[in-house]
Structures are given as structure tokens and as C-alpha cells.
């Protein structure tokens, strides 16, 4: 391996810049040439490349988003698109590619290697934490901290007005963000796609709390389970609790990464270059029990990450 490319793809996640910085600096230190590819697979197909060196990634670790920018690319979903991408990489002499992104982006990377023979290594970058066989993805911790900050503020106003707040968080078809942020704020109810929702039970619980003298109520709902509007309607209809809704939306993807995300992304960036150098392409760098490990993309993408049922039980007991 002499020349590598690095790109960020799909929904951005805080910490992606730290991963880029670590990958570039590790590669440069090892004598490799590095190309930053702008706008994910779209930029790859447009040959939107920039040569990167040690100093071109200075001062980026603390920045949210991704300096390489990102996209969701339709053309790359097709085999012809991936063949074109492989030709472009070969033309530029790029013999290894690092892809930082979520499930869709990693699936594209896997196909690029399988069909076109381009050595790729993936890094899990998504706030959803929905990638199997890694304990955490880049961006999750920052996202959770943003959720907690915001919901805590909603709790203040909820208490003043004795209201219930239904807060909708992201996560695509995963309930992880809802479960973890809901636990962290002591939400009265957490609704996630992995568990069938029982509005009767939720309403009873909220009513009991209310009668006990609790003056606020927070219900966190994962976007993959239901909408804040639907949940609020159920609560108001059943127990007449005055309810407001907040959809956190893309605020969850922004902001300066937490120390945890900076360290995680740096470790992953470093490990991804080492994997390419040691001919371990076709893998993704994962965090397992505190360690960086290489797991085949095939294995990761053939399974769905499950939710920890013990956490679900715990959340119910503690709130």
C-alpha cells in the first residue's frame, strides 16, 4: 500500500474529524500518501479529491461535522457506479480506502471490495449505534450528551408548568439513543422499536407518578418506534395530562465531540490504517470490551445489533 483515500459517508457524526486526523497522521508517519475524498461516494465519483498531509488536519479534532463533508449517494448503490468508482481510484493510484460511516456506507464499501477488488477498511461512524459487533460507534456519546442537555432543560419547564414532555430522538430503526438518553435523564417512559409499546401501561405509570406528587414527566420516544405526536395524543387522551412535544432532530448530530468520541475516533483512525497496511482489508475496526479489534465487514453486515434487554429492564425499575 502506497496511497490511500479516506472519505466520510452518510449521516455525519461528531468525532469523524478526529478519525480523519488520526488516519491521515498515522498514514503520513508510515510514509503513505493520503487523499481526502470530499462528499463521500458522490465526491469519489466526481473525483473531488484533495491531497492531505500532517498539517492539513490540524485544529479539526474539536470540530463537529466532517471537514471532508458527506452525502448519501444513489449512483454508488448500483454496480456500475461502484465499477466507475474503482476505475477512478485505480487511475489515481489509490490502493486502499478508508470509509467512515454507518451501515449503508459500510455495505457500499464491502461491495466495492468484493466486486471491484479495492481494499477497504471501515470505521463505524453513526449516532444511531446500530452497527453489530462494536460496543460503540463514533458520535454516539456526543449525541447522547446533547440529548441529555436538552431534555434536562425541558424538565425545568415541565416542572414549572406541571406538564408531560414527549421527546422524539433519532436512531433510525434502533432504540439505543432513546434508551441510553432516557436512562440518563430518568425518563418516566422510553419507547423503542425493539419492544412493543403498551400505552395503557405507560399511562397508568404516569398517572401513578402524578398522584404521588411528581410535577414533571418525560417520555422519550425513538423515531423508529413512533412519533412524538402519536405518543402525546395517547397520553392526553388516556389521562388528560397537559403534554408538549419536542423533536430533537439534527441538533443530535452536531456539536464538538466529547472526550470519549475524540479518543474512540482517534483509536479507530489509527487502527484502520494499520489494518490496511497489514493486509487486513475487508474489515471494520470495532470496539469490543475496551479493545480495538478487526471484524470482517461480512460478519458485521450479516447481523442486526440487538438491544441489551438488561438495560431495558433496568430503565423500567429505575424511573
Q: Is 267 among the annotated ligand-binding positions?
A: no
Cell numbers given for 294: 478487526
The residues carrying an active-site annotation are 128
Find out whether 237 is annotated in a ligand binding site: no
163 annotated as a binding-site residue? yes
Rank residues 224 and 282 by Cβ distance to ligand F6P and give the closer one: 224
Here the cell at position 126 is 453513526
66: alpha, beta or left? (left if phi > 0; alpha if psi -120 to 50): beta
H or E segment and range at residue 85: helix 79-91
Cβ closest to ligand F6P, residue 16 vs residue 24: 16
Q: Give dist(CA 198, CA 191) in Å, integer.
A: 9
Binding site for ligand F6P (CB under 6 A): 11, 102, 126-128, 170-172, 223, 253
Q: Is 238 annotated as a binding residue?
A: no
189-191: strand order across its sheet: 189-191, 217-222, 164-169, 243-247
Q: How far is the CB of 244 from ligand F6P (least distance, A)?
A: 22
Task: Quote the least distance from Cβ 115 to ligand F6P, whole Å.
Answer: 25
Which of 128, 188 has the CB closer to ligand F6P? Answer: 128
168 labeled binding residue: no
Between CA 46 and CA 56, with CA 51 as vertex, the angle to 5 degrees is 125
Give me 305's grid cell.
445489533
Q: Using CA atoms, how far apart are residues 158 and 245, in angstroms rounded to an integer?
A: 11
Contacts of 155 by beta carbon, 8 Å cutoff, 6+ apart: 165, 185, 216, 218
User: 116 vs 230, which CB is nearer to ligand F6P?
Assistant: 230
To ligand F6P, the closest distance from the beta carbon of 127 in angstroms equals: 6
Name residue, grid cell 417520555.
219
What is the biggest distance separating any 2 CA atoms in the chain, rounded to whole angstroms? 70
Closest C-alpha among 8, 262, 309, 310 to residue 140: 262
Give the nearest distance from C-beta 228 to ligand F6P in angstroms.
14
Question: DSSP class of residue 157?
Answer: H
Give yes or no for a contact between 70 and 11, defined as CB atoms under 8 angstroms apart: yes
Answer yes or no: is 10 a known binding residue: no
Instruction: State the minimum distance, in angstroms, from the CB of residue 274 to ligand F6P.
Output: 27
223 belongs to an annotated ligand binding site: yes
Cell of 274: 494499520
Write down the least CB distance from residue 103 to ligand F6P, Å. Answer: 8
19 or 275: whose CB is closer to ligand F6P?
19
Distance, CA of 120 to CA of 131 (rounded, Å): 17
Q: Which three cell numbers stand for residue 199?
A: 400505552
Which whole-number Å values give the CA distances from 98 to 35, 57, 72, 124, 282, in the listed order? 10, 16, 16, 11, 10
| 261 labeled binding residue | no
Nearer to ligand F6P, 128 or 141 (CB): 128
User: Could you tell me which residues are annotated as the binding site for ADP?
Assistant: 21-25, 155, 186-188, 212, 214-216
Which residues are annotated as part of the binding site for ATP? Answer: 11, 72-73, 102-105
Amino acid at each position: 500500500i502506497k496511497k490511500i483515500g479516506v472519505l466520510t459517508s452518510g449521516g455525519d457524526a461528531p468525532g469523524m474529524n478526529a478519525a480523519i486526523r488520526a488516519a491521515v497522521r498515522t498514514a503520513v508517519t508510515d510514509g503513505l500518501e493520503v487523499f481526502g475524498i470530499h462528499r463521500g461516494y458522490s465526491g469519489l465519483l466526481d473525483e473531488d479529491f484533495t491531497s492531505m498531509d500532517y498539517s492539513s488536519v490540524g485544529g479539526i479534532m474539536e470540530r463537529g461535522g466532517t471537514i471532508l463533508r458527506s452525502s448519501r449517494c444513489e449512483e454508488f448503490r448500483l454496480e456500475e457506479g461502484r465499477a466507475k468508482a474503482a476505475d477512478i481510484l485505480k487511475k489515481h493510484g489509490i490502493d486502499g480506502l478508508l470509509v467512515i460511516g454507518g451501515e449503508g456506507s459500510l455495505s457500499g464499501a464491502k461491495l466495492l471490495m468484493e466486486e471491484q477488488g479495492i481494499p477497504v477498511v471501515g470505521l463505524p461512524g453513526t449516532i444511531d449505534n446500530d452497527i453489530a459487533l462494536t460496543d460503540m460507534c463514533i458520535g454516539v456519546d456526543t449525541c447522547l450528551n446533547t440529548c441529555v442537555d436538552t431534555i434536562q432543560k425541558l424538565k425545568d419547564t415541565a416542572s414549572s408548568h406541571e406538564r408531560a414532555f414527549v421527546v422524539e430522538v433519532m436512531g433510525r430503526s434502533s432504540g439505543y439513543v432513546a434508551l441510553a438518553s432516557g436512562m440518563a435523564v430518568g425518563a418516566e417512559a422510553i419507547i423503542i422499536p425493539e419492544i412493543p409499546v403498551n400505552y395503557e401501561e405507560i399511562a397508568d405509570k404516569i398517572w401513578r407518578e402524578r398522584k404521588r406528587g411528581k410535577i414533571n414527566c418525560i417520555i422519550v420516544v425513538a423515531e423508529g418506534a413512533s412519533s412524538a405526536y402519536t405518543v402525546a395524543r395517547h397520553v392526553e387522551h388516556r389521562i388528560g395530562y397537559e403534554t408538549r412535544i419536542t423533536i430533537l432532530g439534527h441538533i443530535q448530530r452536531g456539536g464538538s465531540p466529547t472526550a470519549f468520541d475524540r479518543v474512540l475516533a482517534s483509536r479507530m483512525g489509527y487502527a484502520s490504517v494499520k489494518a490496511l497496511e497489514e493486509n487486513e482489508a475487508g474489515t471494520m475496526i470495532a470496539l469490543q470490551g475496551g479493545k480495538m479489534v478487526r471484524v470482517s465487514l461480512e460478519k458485521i453486515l450479516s447481523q442486526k445489533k440487538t438491544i441489551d434487554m438488561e438495560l431495558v429492564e433496568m430503565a423500567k425499575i429505575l424511573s
